[in-house]
Structure 1
């Protein structure tokens, strides 16, 4: 079960790296605007905010990557602490997104499913 937990946490990290790329470097691109439901004007006005938010997603991914590395090197307690902090933040952000705008439920599920399942799998290994 521990392997499943860390595979799911790795997947969560990869999803957040992809979100980072979209928000920080492709925010005004037509495909990104379609994914986030923004007009060209809205994307331009919110570009700086999206850039910052993208890095937030990257930093969460880095926390999970560090958790995986610590697990591989046998530092289980530190690994679990980082997994809970990183994946817990991802799940919390997904819940905020889902409750703030019901049209974003799909995006919240994409953002929050893997970290939530990873945390559940991790809890089942304890």
Structure 2
């Protein structure tokens, strides 16, 4: 049961990062303006390339999380899940410290919950 909950959390975190990819790579000068209200309007166009690069990294995180869900070997599934959730958690904590506290709640906390669930499952 715990493994099922961890897979659900991993799926949610992966979907969030697919959304971040889309937002930063394809909707930076449109939809992102409503999401990132603290950024001045005139900064979106000049930072478009930087945002797209950041979106690509979010896509890699999503790909790794999705990969962890389809690995057949139980141990490797957990190891890969822990690695990518750890990457997401570190990025979320750093983002919360440097950009916005909201990033902790949206990005880091779900990843930390996923890590906790995977560790509990592994040691039960």
CA offset at residue 117 of structure 1? 0.7
The within-5 A match list for 1:1-126 is: 1-29=2-30, 31-37=31-37, 38-70=39-71, 73=72, 75-101=73-99, 104-126=100-122
Structure 1 residue runs without a partner (length 5+): none
CA distance in 2, matches of 1:107, 1:115: 12
Equivalent pairs counted in the alignment come to 120
Which segments of structure 1 move beyond 2 Å, counting only runs of 4 or more?
Answer: 37-40
Task: Give the secondary structure class of the aligned counterpart of 2:29.
Answer: coil
Q: Deviations over 1:15-73 (max 9, x none)?
A: 000011000000000x3112112233201111001001001001101001000001xx3
Which region of structure 1 is more displaced relative to structure 2, 39-48 or 59-68? 39-48
TM-score, normalised to structure 2's length?
A: 0.91
Which region of structure 1 is more displaced relative to structure 2, 46-55 or 111-120? 111-120
CA distance in 1, matches of 2:49, 2:116: 35
CA offset at residue 107 of structure 1? 2.7
TM-score, normalised to structure 1's length?
A: 0.90
CA offset at residue 105 of structure 1? 1.1
CA distance in 1, matches of 2:111, 2:104: 11
**Contact preservation (8 Å) 2:82, 2:118:** no
Structure 2 residue runs without a partner (length 5+): none
More helix by share: 1
